[in-house]
């Protein structure tokens, strides 16, 4: 059974340290509940506890805030805990040539934590694509014309 809260993600990760696997399973459950605001709020409302791994704890804070913002839910208070923020930048993926792009497109919930990702970092196969996805435009006003 998939985790039904970020707290369950942390609890499972204490027994099996693959927190990213448990997070992916959680996201699938969250997306399957799309449209059920009360249920989705319950997925992120409770403070999940800390894993003691700065990057994981900060990332989970970003997940809670990002999902709340993206789905129009109340942002949980626990996401503002100092332990949910990094002091050194983290890039996902950690490719030097992608860093400028990731800095520009990271959602605010991650960027504020010094976590730099793609524009919609929590997409999964079960993501409700009918809601639309966030993407970075190929061009923008004032950009030089691309040569053919």
Q: What is the DSSP letter of 83?
A: G
Domain membership flag for residue 145: no
Q: How far apart are CA 42 and CA 79, in angstroms?
A: 14
Domain membership flag for residue 133: no
Domain membership flag for residue 31: yes
Domain membership flag for residue 29: yes
Domain membership flag for residue 28: yes
CA-nearest of 31, 27, 34, 35 to 3 is 27
Domain membership flag for residue 106: yes
**Are the beta carbons of 19 and 56 closer than 8 angstroms?**
yes
Domain membership flag for residue 148: no
Is the pTM of the predicted complex or chain greater than 0.85? yes
Please give the tally of structural domains in the chain.
1
Find the domain containing 86 and state its range: 6-121
**30-84 pLDDT, tens digit each:** 999 999 999 999 999 999 999 999 999 999 999 999 999 999 999 999 999 999 9
Domain membership flag for residue 58: yes
């Amino acid at each position: 059974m998939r985790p039904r809260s970020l707290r369950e993600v942390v609890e499972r990760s204490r027994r099996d340290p693959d927190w990213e696997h448990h997070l992916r399973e959680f996201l699938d459950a969250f997306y399957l509940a799309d449209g059920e605001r009360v249920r989705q709020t319950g997925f992120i409302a409770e403070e999940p506890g800390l894993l003691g791994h700065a990057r994981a704890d900060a990332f989970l804070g970003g997940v809670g805030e990002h999902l709340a913002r993206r789905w129009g839910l109340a942002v949980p208070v626990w996401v503002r805990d100092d332990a949910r923020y990094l002091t050194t930048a983290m890039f996902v993926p950690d490719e030097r040539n992608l860093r400028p792009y990731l800095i520009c497109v990271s959602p605010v919930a991650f960027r504020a934590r010094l976590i730099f990702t793609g524009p919609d970092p929590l997409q999964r196969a079960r993501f409700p694509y009918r809601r639309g996805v966030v993407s970075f435009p190929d061009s923008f006003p004032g950009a030089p014309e691309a040569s053919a």
